[in-house]
Structure 1
Amino acid sequence: MTRTVDELRNEIRLAVGRYERIESTAFTKESLAAICEAVGYEIETNPLPPKPEMRAGILSAIGELDADSDDADRPFRKAELEAIEAVLREDAQ
């Protein structure tokens, strides 16, 4: 059975030490920062960079996006969430 976008987001949140969310929401800056750290994308933490910059860095770090692309101006798509979750699951083993 395929997982929903909400289920994938929650699995990613839990994998990086964040809290599961009941309502359907995109990642917070803090969650994106935790994902950046987990995939090895270094960011400044005071203040946190804009969400699109962190999304682009995450996708670039896992090989899903060229660093110069503007595709990260929107929330992650399901296929991108699946790729992130797979990398985090792989790293946990």
Structure 2
Amino acid sequence: MTRTVDDLRNEIRVAVGRYERIESTGFTKESLAAICEALDHDVETNPFPPKAEMRAGIRSTIDGLDDDPDSADRPFRKAELEAIEETLRDQPR
């Protein structure tokens, strides 16, 4: 069965120690910061940087993802979520 965008987001949340969400929603700043940390991308946490900045940092650490600055202003697309989930799954815990 094909995983939905919501399924992928929840798998990523769980992989970085965050909670699954029942409702369909994008990543919070806290979740994005946890993903950055899991990918060894330094991010300030007090206060959190803008979401676009954290998404750009995540894209820059994963091979094959477009790190075009314009893409940082939008949520991750399904293919990007799949690449993020795969990268996190392949990392030692």
**Shorter-chain TM-score tier:** over 0.9
Superposed CA offset, 1:35-92 (max 9, x none): 00001110111110000000010010112133x5221101100000000000000004
Which runs of 5 or more structure 1 residues have no equivalent in the other structure?
none
Q: How many residue pairs end up in the alignment?
A: 92
Q: Which runs of 5+ in 2 are unaligned?
A: none
Residue type of the alignment partner of 2:11: E
Quick one: distance in 1 between partners of 2:24 and 2:69?
Answer: 26
Aligned to 2:73: 73
Tell whether 2:58 aligns with 1:58: yes
What is the TM-score normalised by the length of structure 2? 0.93
One-letter amino acid of the structure 1 residue matched with residue 85 of structure 2:
E
Identity value in percent: 75
User: What corresponds to 2:39 in structure 1?
Assistant: 39
Give deviations 1:9-52, integer Å, cap 9, x for gaps. 00000000000000000000000000000011101111100000
Aligned Cα RMSD in Å? 1.2
